[in-house]
Amino acid sequence: MLFDLYLPGRVLFGPGSTYRLGEEARRYGNKVLLVTGRRSLKESGNFERVTMPFVTAKLEFALYDRVPPEPTLEAVEELRRYLREEKCDVVVAVGGGSVLDTVKAATGLFYEEGTVKEYFYGREITKPKFPWIAVPTTAGSGSEATTIAVLKDPEVPKKQSLRHPFWLPDVAVVDPILTMSLPRELTARAGLDALTHAVEAYTCRFTNPFSDAVSREAVRLIVQNIYTAYTVPRNRDAREKMMQGSFLAGMAIQSAGVGAVHALAHVLGARYDLPHGLACGMLLPHVMAFNLPLVEDKYAQLAVTAGIVPPATPAPQAAERFVGYVRLLTTKLGLPTRLREVGVKEEDLPSIAEEALTASSMARNPRRASREDLLNLLREAF
Ligand SMILES: [Fe+2]
């Protein structure tokens, strides 16, 4: 068996770990560029949590709070321009997957001469990245543990990942306290993205002992805590376990990859601005049902690990129960379950299937899917 591992070099995990941001940033110099989304961190109280350590460490910092909810090529280009002019020593990205991915690509292409668009469409990346620190505020994308930035070219529209082995953050500060104020709907969507990562990484075609171990544990943590984190947002233990789960799931997809859910979710995200976690949550049970004949034992293992069925349950029954659990989950989390409810048009389904067929993550799905298979799957989800 051959496999490559790209793991974050330095991870500070735990409630309150944000207070160490100052000492970490100081290793790179005196000036920090703090990058956030447009929704102010101030409402959640996280702005003080993140900036106090800079003040304590006597660091100068500039704020860039213009990352859009959906990271476009233009958003990366604009941040890269700003970063070049601002002359800081390190970037600290605080936010969900969109903020982390935007910063990852902007720092990754900092020293490159071409446009962001050129690299998105295949130009080779040869230069090292600019230093950055990842501080996730959602338990979802796992971007702090990956070399992947999912970006969108709205002109096509097309959504795909841009990645490079250099692109992991220099430090990941993973503090579940930052997720405590996350609204319920965002908690649910992010959690479904993380669950999809864990399930797809555990069952895809290129698993390895490392991805097996971390994705299985990620499924357990997420299944056992997602509903509590949603219903009792201030439950610290559930928030911490969700953060552990999304971080492990991030490492798992970095190591093994994803599958058909992500292939389809990216097409839907590009065309309809559908939030990524919601698209994943709606598609996951249908893709799982399609993959079931090839990965029954794996679903059964996950069902036992997560405590959905007792250990002695026969594999076919255990696997079915796991798919059933996932099918009910999106409803329990108060989210729409049908593509038609979120603006997807029935006449678009054939071209969505066509486009997803050639996505790179499709090649990693455990069961080969034809155009017809994907179309049937989309119809079931419609
Ligand atoms: Fe995802």
**Per-residue DSSP letters for 218-270?**
HHHHHHHHHHHHHHSTT-HHHHHHHHHHHHHHHHHHHHH---HHHHHHHHHHH
Domain that holds residue 225: 183-381
> 138 with 250, same domain?
no
Domain tally for the chain?
2
Unique residue bearing structure tokens 């990352």: 67
How close is the Cα of 277 to the center of ligand 1, in Å? 7
How close is the Cα of 35 to the center of ligand 1, in Å? 21
pLDDT at 43: 79
How close is the Cα of 128 to the center of ligand 1, in Å? 25
How close is the Cα of 355 to the center of ligand 1, in Å? 18
> 59 with 201, same domain?
no
> 164 with 310, same domain?
no
How close is the Cα of 44 to the center of ligand 1, in Å? 24
Nearest 5°: phi and psi at 33?
Answer: -105, 115
Which two tokens mark 33? 């560029």
In a domain, 4, yes or no: no
For the sheet with 90-95, list strands across it: 11-13, 171-174, 132-136, 90-95, 31-37, 60-67
How close is the Cα of 262 to the center of ligand 1, in Å? 6
How close is the Cα of 356 to the center of ligand 1, in Å? 15
Nearest 5°: phi and psi at 90?
Answer: -155, 150
pLDDT at 283: 98
Nearest 5°: phi and psi at 152?
Answer: -125, 135
How close is the Cα of 328 to the center of ligand 1, in Å? 20
> 98 with 162, same domain?
yes
Report the half-sphere exposure of 72 (CA within 13 A, side-chain side). Answer: 13
Query: Using N-to-C axis directions, what is the helix angle for 276-305 and 209-231, rounded to 10°?
Result: 110
> 120 with 236, same domain?
no
How close is the Cα of 186 to the center of ligand 1, in Å? 14
> 227 with 286, same domain?
yes
* Helices vs. strands in the chain: H and E counts, helices first: 13, 8
In a domain, 63, yes or no: yes
How close is the Cα of 56 to the center of ligand 1, in Å? 35
> 355 with 208, same domain?
yes
How close is the Cα of 284 to the center of ligand 1, in Å? 11
Of residues 200, 172, 195, 194, the one with CA closest to residue 256 = 200
> 98 with 126, same domain?
yes
Which two tokens mark 6? 């790209």
> 60 with 93, same domain?
yes
In a domain, 6, yes or no: no
pLDDT at 204: 97
In a domain, 3, yes or no: no
How close is the Cα of 213 to the center of ligand 1, in Å? 19
The pLDDT profile of the chain, 382 residues, written as one tens digit per residue, is: 889 999 999 999 999 999 999 999 999 999 999 999 987 687 788 999 999 999 999 999 999 999 999 999 999 999 999 999 999 999 999 999 999 999 999 999 999 999 999 999 999 999 999 999 999 999 999 999 999 999 999 999 999 999 999 999 999 999 999 999 999 999 999 999 999 999 999 999 999 999 999 999 999 999 999 999 999 999 999 999 999 999 999 999 999 999 999 999 999 999 998 999 999 999 999 999 999 999 999 999 999 999 999 999 999 999 999 999 999 999 999 999 999 999 999 999 999 999 999 999 999 999 999 999 999 999 999 9
Query: Would strands 90-95 and 132-136 be described as parallel, antiparallel, or unpaired?
Result: parallel
In a domain, 58, yes or no: yes
Q: Around Cβ 55, how many Cβ atoms within 10 Å?
A: 11
What CATH number is associated with residue 353?
1.20.1090.10
Of 178, 206, 224, which closes a domain?
Answer: 178
> 137 with 69, same domain?
yes
What CATH number is associated with residue 37?
3.40.50.1970
How close is the Cα of 380 to the center of ligand 1, in Å? 21
> 200 with 245, same domain?
yes
Which two tokens mark 297? 């034992």
Unique residue bearing structure tokens 């930035």: 149
Of 178, 211, 227, which closes a domain?
Answer: 178
How close is the Cα of 25 to the center of ligand 1, in Å? 28
How close is the Cα of 106 to the center of ligand 1, in Å? 20
How close is the Cα of 313 to the center of ligand 1, in Å? 30
How close is the Cα of 14 to the center of ligand 1, in Å? 23
pLDDT at 376: 98
pLDDT at 47: 94
Of 122, 148, 178, which closes a domain?
Answer: 178
Sign for the CA dihedral angle at 290, 294, 297, 301 comes to negative
How close is the Cα of 141 to the center of ligand 1, in Å? 6
In a domain, 1, yes or no: no
From the number of C-beta atoms within 10 Å of its C-beta (0-12, 13-18, 19+), residue 341 rates as exposed
| Contact call for residues 179 and 187 (beta carbons, < 8 A) | yes
Residues 6+ apart with CB under 8 A from 211: 3, 201, 202, 251, 252, 255, 256
| Contact call for residues 115 and 141 (beta carbons, < 8 A) | no
How close is the Cα of 312 to the center of ligand 1, in Å? 32
Return the amino acid letter for 285: P
In a domain, 102, yes or no: yes
In a domain, 199, yes or no: yes
How close is the Cα of 259 to the center of ligand 1, in Å? 10
Residues near ion ligand 1 (Cβ under 5 Å): 193
**Angstrom distance (rounded) from CA 228 to CA 373:** 35
pLDDT at 276: 97
> 98 with 219, same domain?
no
